[in-house]
Amino acid sequence: MAKKSTSVSASPPVPPWQNKIVGYGEEPIAAIVANSANWKRHDATAQAALMGTLDDVGILQNLIINRRTHAQWPEAERGQPVLLDGHRRVLVSLKRGQPSWPVTYVDLTPAEEAEALVTLDPLVALATAETEKLAALLHTVQSGDAAVQAMLAQLAEQSGVVPPDFAGDTGG
């Protein structure tokens, strides 16, 4: 008796994502041009929490700058590097007098830049908390900075995790 063939039809290959990173470097803070289409505003509370974290831990993430060399850019904007991600980091660096920051350079079309501007932070915000892991982490964080402590208390409250260290402390 012949066996029936149970071949599985393979799905068509999916092309790999395009790597839009074109380089790395360091830029003087004073030379970085903010993106006029940046839609996020960072109040004094958010700036203070970031500054406290930078004081506690240091620089952990590059700024992202779009080199804008693609032919789709209008002539007046082509080749003019502009900040894509890291506006708050630049703001606090200007206040503190931080001379420079590490940078990831990308080269995006106008449409790609617009999509990146509108999705980078909201994609991160879609993450949900694993409450046990968050509670354990919160128990290990020791910051002497009031703004960082207030931010952590707010995170604990919003995530339904209120470890004893943060009980009743909402930073207010």
pLDDT at 170: 47
Q: What is the pLDDT of residues 133-170, one digit of tens each?
A: 888 888 888 888 898 888 888 888 888 887 555 444 44
Q: What is the pLDDT of residues 36-86, one digit of tens each?
A: 999 988 889 989 999 999 999 999 999 999 999 999 999 999 999 999 999
Q: What is the pLDDT of residues 9-46, one digit of tens each?
A: 678 899 999 999 999 999 999 999 999 999 988 889 98
Higher-scoring residue by pLDDT: 117, 164: 117
Residues 6+ apart with CB under 8 A from 159: 129, 131, 134
Residues 6+ apart with CB under 8 A from 11: none
The DSSP line for 48-86 is: HHHHHHHHHT---S-EEEE---STTS-TTTTT--EEEE-
